[in-house]
């Protein structure tokens, strides 16, 4: 099997890359080891640049109907008083979208995958895993295993986009190391549905409490998220127990008013890969860089990687591309149509 571009990983970054390549005349193959969309939230925050990318991907209006604009953030001191408050620009938004939005990741990914499915130039192999790769003069030869059939196949791609996350097989196979920016902490991330009225802050809240630093985020509909620091004397494995999670969460919310959807222990990192490409192989998203989630830019940075790279690959593969298309990121006060069209040369 041959393709112009192979994408390894079908999370938000890989799906964005595929959607932006949709209908552009190149043969694209996506390889994903999971059988479907991961059914729990991970990322929860996006920004106006991501929303403009989603317009080009064809889901701007659909996604926009299911998000909550960022409500602003309040920083609370140990005495309960506000240390600082950051407000948001009200509509009409000068950049076309709110500068920050909150979303529910499984819904977002399903929309992106539906957009990809509308394009006949993209083939998606779910339940398939990349098990080997070899760089050739004119591209990369991939060995992909069908996890259901335990059979392998060989694929030749001119370019490879590694969107396979923090534990990227591609990055490790290439022997590319990470530069550690010296941030390494354990935190618990808890997502819960609010099931009855209870006192909760209207704005996102940063609890600047030495006793337990924490963040609270108001998601779409009745979704709430808390990020809670694991203290030095505590062990991360303690928080595999929901009872322990509820005990800690009780310091921030009436736990009888919520239903836990997911709790996960994360080791927050600040890491940057030593190089982001090798010849025809490119690293995107968490494969190339990882950051603490406090400003909600992890997924956003990965989607920007995809938007920045795709128009350049199109330019290389199709020299006529700039005559009738524009790059997928630009600043505009008006929401753009999904058609990548450029103004006539004599227009203002």
Domain boundaries, the chain: 2-67+103-177+274-324, 181-269
Backbone φ and ψ for 346, nearest 5 degrees, come out as: -95, 10
Judge if the upstream peptide bond of residue 18 is cis by omega within 30 degrees of 0: no
Which pair of structure tokens corresponds to residue 273?
């890969």
What is the Cα–Cα distance from 259 to 239, expressed in whole angstroms? 17
Give the pLDDT band (50/70/90) at residue 327: very low
User: Residue 150: CB partners within 8 Å, gap ≥ 6?
Assistant: none
| Cβ count within 10 A of residue 53 | 23
Question: Does 345 score more than 90 pLDDT?
Answer: no
Residue 319 is predicted with a pLDDT of: 65
Q: Which of 111-115, 198-202, 265-269 has the highest mean pLDDT?
A: 111-115
Task: Give CA separation, 95 vs 22, 57, 86, in Å.
Answer: 25, 18, 18
Taking only the tens place, the pLDDT of each residue in 175-187 is: 999 999 989 899 9
CA–CA separation, 321 vs 331, rounded Å? 20
Q: How many CB atoms lie within 10 A of CB 136?
A: 13
Whether this model's pTM surpasses 0.95: no
Which one has a higher pLDDT value, 282 or 318?
282
Give per-residue pLDDT as tens, 231-263.
999 999 999 999 999 999 999 999 999 999 999
pLDDT at 38 over 50: yes
| Mean pLDDT of the residues in the chain | 90
Q: Which pLDDT band, with edges at 50, 70 and 90, does 73 fall under?
A: very high
Query: CATH number for the 181-269 domain, one of 3.40.50.150, 3.30.413.10, 3.30.9.10, 3.40.718.10?
Result: 3.30.9.10
- Mean pLDDT for 197-212 is 94
Tell me whether strands 100-102 and 139-146 are parallel, antiparallel or unpaired. unpaired
CATH number of 2-67+103-177+274-324: 3.50.50.60
């Amino acid at each position: 099997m041959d393709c112009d571009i192979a994408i390894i990983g079908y999370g938000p970054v890989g799906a964005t890359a595929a959607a932006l390549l949709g209908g552009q005349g190149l043969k694209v193959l996506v390889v994903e080891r999971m059988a479907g969309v991961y059914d729990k939230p991970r990322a929860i925050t996006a920004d106006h640049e991501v929303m403009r990318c989603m317009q080009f991907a064809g889901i701007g209006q659909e996604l926009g109907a299911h998000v909550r604009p960022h409500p602003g953030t309040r920083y609370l001191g140990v005495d309960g008083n506000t240390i600082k408050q950051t407000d948001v620009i009200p509509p009409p938004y000068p950049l076309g979208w709110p500068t920050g939005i909150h979303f529910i990741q499984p819904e977002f990914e399903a929309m992106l995958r539906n957009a990809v499915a509308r394009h006949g130039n993209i083939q998606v192999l779910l339940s398939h895993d990349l098990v080997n790769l070899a760089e050739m003069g004119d591209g990369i030869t991939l060995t992909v295993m069908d996890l259901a059939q335990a059979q392998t196949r060989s694929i030749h791609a001119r370019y490879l986009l590694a969107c396979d996350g923090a534990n990227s097989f591609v990055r490790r196979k290439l022997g590319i190391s990470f530069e550690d920016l010296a941030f390494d902490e354990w935190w618990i991330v808890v997502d819960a549905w609010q099931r009855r009225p209870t006192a909760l802050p209207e704005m996102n809240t940063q609890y600047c409490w030495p006793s337990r630093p924490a963040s609270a985020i108001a998601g779409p509909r009745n979704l709430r998220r808390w990020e809670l620091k694991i203290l030095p004397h505590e062990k991360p494995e303690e928080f595999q127990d929901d009872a322990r999670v509820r005990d800690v969460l009780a310091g921030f919310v009436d736990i009888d008013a919520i239903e836990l959807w997911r709790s996960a222990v994360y080791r927050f990192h600040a890491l940057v890969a030593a190089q982001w490409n090798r010849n025809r192989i490119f690293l995107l998203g968490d494969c190339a860089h990882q950051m603490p989630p406090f400003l909600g830019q992890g997924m956003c940075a990965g989607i920007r990687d995809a938007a920045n790279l795709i128009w350049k690959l199109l330019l290389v593969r199709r020299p006529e591309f700039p005559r009738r298309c524009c790059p997928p990121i630009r600043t505009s006060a008006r929401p753009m149509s999904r058609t990548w069209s450029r103004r006539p040369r004599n227009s203002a």
